[in-house]
Amino acid sequence: MIENRTGTGHTRAKVILTGEHAVVYGEPAIALPLASLPMHATARHEPGPLALESVLYSGPLADAPEELAAPRAAIEATLDHLGLPHRDLTLSTESSIPAARGLGSSAATAGALALALADLAGRTLTAQEHFDLVQVGERVAHGSPSGLDARTTASTVPIWFQGGAMRPLDLHLSAHLVVADTGVHGRTRVAVADVRSFRDRHPARGAQLISELGAITRETVTDLRLDRPVLLGERLTRAHQALAELGVSSPELDRLQRTALDAGALGAKLTGGGQGGCLLALAADAASAGTIAAALRRSGAPRTWLHRIDARQPSTSQV
């Protein structure tokens, strides 16, 4: 009986260290879950139409705006998968993950709701079931998602991802990440299509840039293992240049990248789909991370987050 129960589900935001876009073409990527940017979802029995309560919209799911098409598709697939009715349920989400900023908000939403519905039904989803359900929404959001976001939001540790498969990564790097919001919506579906169009128009250069991004990710694993923040920073900056040439940077991202480097970042790049969204900068220590974050905010970033990556269970805080 689900009448007297409340199901809960929790996921988290993600940040891609290296490999976005190239991962769509089979290259590897490295991504980190942001523990202190969690997504909490609940599902409870409530007579009436299937309803959603979230910061973006509250009301019957059938009337939800177009921007909620992705979670809606994932919710419907989850209900079918669990054999639950498409009514008499109210779902709610609570999170400060900004939407459309390359931090995996759509996958985190779909993932937390799938877990909440399974919990309500007294079921446990396997990792593969969870991934498949989140991917239903990601297909609506991204078109041809690599699965990186779906895997990372379900993980509590940094991951290496390639060809749909992931493995946990052990980090031994003493450094800090600064994530800065450009304040501009990034539309991953458009950015992914623009990279495809670049490859169609410039096949040789497109292939070269994608494989350079793949090589950067492979080298990054060694930097993470051997604690080489300076080399890692150089690679991140190189990755930004390659992504910019593929057409997924923006004037705001380029400006924030220059600001971060001028403020002492070891390297900086866009993260996620790009064309807006967030910038990621690598800082040698906490003091430098604070200085870089302050410079980024002075340069127009509405929000910044600091993330320590030198611990097994990294921590994030908003500043």
Closest distance of CB 81 from ligand MEV, Å: 22
Q: Taking CB under 6 A as the rule, does residue 110 contact ligand MEV?
A: no
Q: CA of 263: how far to CAs of 63, 67, 285, 302, in Å?
A: 46, 36, 13, 17
Site for ligand MEV in 24-43 (CB under 6 A): 24
Strands 278-283 and 267-271 turn out to be: antiparallel
Site string for ligand MEV, 85-104 (x = CB under 6 A): -----------------x--
Q: Taking CB under 6 A as the rule, does residue 279 contact ligand MEV?
A: no
Minimum CB distance to ligand MEV smaller for 146 or for 182: 146
Stretch of 74-82, 143-151, 197-205, 294-302 lying at the interface with ligand MEV (CB under 6 A): 143-151
107, 22, 30: which is closest to 314 by C-alpha? 30
Q: Taking CB under 6 A as the rule, does residue 141 contact ligand MEV?
A: no
Tokens of 260: 């971060």
Closest distance of CB 294 from ligand MEV, Å: 27
Of residues 111, 272, 276, 314, which one binds ligand MEV by CB under 6 A? 272
DSSP string over 205-259: HHHHHHHHHHHHHHHHHHHHHHT-HHHHHHHHHHHHHHHHHTT---HHHHHHHHH
Dist. CA 67–CA 85, nearest whole Å: 23
Q: Taking CB under 6 A as the rule, does residue 137 contact ligand MEV?
A: no
Q: Taking CB under 6 A as the rule, does residue 111 contact ligand MEV?
A: no
Size of the chain, expressed as the number of residues it contains: 319
319, 315, 288, 291: which is closest to 305 by C-alpha? 319
Tokens of 142: 């991204």
Name the 3-class secondary structure at 88.
strand
Stretch of 140-148, 255-263, 295-303, 308-316 lying at the interface with ligand MEV (CB under 6 A): 140-148
Of residues 13, 192, 243, 301, which one binds ligand MEV by CB under 6 A? 192
Dist. CA 143–CA 166, nearest whole Å: 21
Query: Which residues of this chain interact with ligand MEV, rule CB under 6 A?
Result: 20-21, 23-24, 102, 142, 145-146, 148-149, 188, 192, 272-273
